[in-house]
Amino acid sequence: MADDVVTTGIARHGAARLPSVDVDSFNVELKDDDGFLGDRACKGAFRKILDDLRKPLKKNGEDPLGEKSAEKLSKSELDQALLGEDIGAAALVHGAIEEFARELSFVTSRILKLKAWADTERIVVGGGFRQSRVGELAIARTDILLKAEGFKVDLTPIGFDPDDAGLIGCLHLAPSWIFEGHDGILAIDIGGTNIRCGVVETRWKKAKDLSKASIWHSELWRHADDEPTREGAVKRMVKILKGLIEEADGKGLKLAPFIGISCPGVIDEDGSIEKGAQNLPGNWESSKFNLPASLVEAIPKIGDHDTAIVMHNDGVAQGLSEVPFMQDVEHWGVLTIGTGLGNARFTNRRKDDKKNGKKDDKKDGDEKKEKKKD
- 142 domain residue, yes or no: no
* Residue 32 vs residue 70, higher pLDDT: 70
Specify the pLDDT at position 37: 87
- 13 domain residue, yes or no: yes
State the average pLDDT over residues 194-215: 94
Q: How confident is the model at residue 157 (pLDDT cuts 50, 70, 90)?
A: very high
CATH number at residue 18: 3.30.420.40
Q: Is the pLDDT of residue 119 over 60?
A: yes
Query: The whole model's pTM is what?
Result: 0.87
Q: Is the pLDDT of residue 106 over 90?
A: yes
- 97 domain residue, yes or no: no
User: Measured between alpha carbons, how far is 47 from 99 in angstroms, rounded to an integer?
Assistant: 11
- 24 domain residue, yes or no: yes
- Return the percentage of the chain with pLDDT > 70, whole number: 91
Mean pLDDT for all residues in the chain: 89
Specify the pLDDT at position 362: 43
- Return the percentage of the chain with pLDDT > 90, whole number: 75
- Catalogue the E-assigned strands of 127-249: 154-157, 184-190, 195-201, 214-221
Specify the pLDDT at position 193: 86
- 211 domain residue, yes or no: yes
User: Measured between alpha carbons, how far is 32 from 21 in angstroms, rounded to an integer?
Assistant: 31
Specify the pLDDT at position 360: 42
Specify the pLDDT at position 10: 66
In tens, the pLDDT along 305-355 reads 999 999 999 999 999 999 999 999 999 999 999 888 999 999 998 644 444
3-state secondary structure of 150: coil
- 313 domain residue, yes or no: yes
State the average pLDDT over residues 158-171: 95
Neighbours of 221 (CB within 10 A): 18
Contacts of 210 (CB under 8 A, 6+ apart): 168, 171, 172, 202, 203, 204, 323, 324
Q: Is the pLDDT of residue 180 over 80?
A: yes
Domain with 216, as residue range(s), is: 2-28+162-348
The DSSP code sequence of 250-286 is: HTTPPEEEEEEEEESSEE-TTS-EEE--TTSSS-TT-
State the average pLDDT over residues 66-93: 95
Specify the pLDDT at position 363: 40
- 16 domain residue, yes or no: yes
Specify the pLDDT at position 35: 79
- 107 domain residue, yes or no: no
Contacts of 247 (CB under 8 A, 6+ apart): 199, 217
Q: Is the pLDDT of residue 261 over 80?
A: yes
Specify the DSSP class assigned to residue 132. Answer: S
- Give the dihedral sign, CA 349/351/357/358: negative
Q: Which of 16, 29, 27 is nearest to 110 (CA)?
A: 29
Specify the pLDDT at position 340: 85
Specify the pLDDT at position 350: 61
In tens, the pLDDT along 21-69 reads 999 999 998 888 777 888 899 999 999 999 999 999 988 888 999 999 9
State the average pLDDT over residues 180-190: 95
State the average pLDDT over residues 230-252: 96
Q: Total structural domains in the chain? A: 1
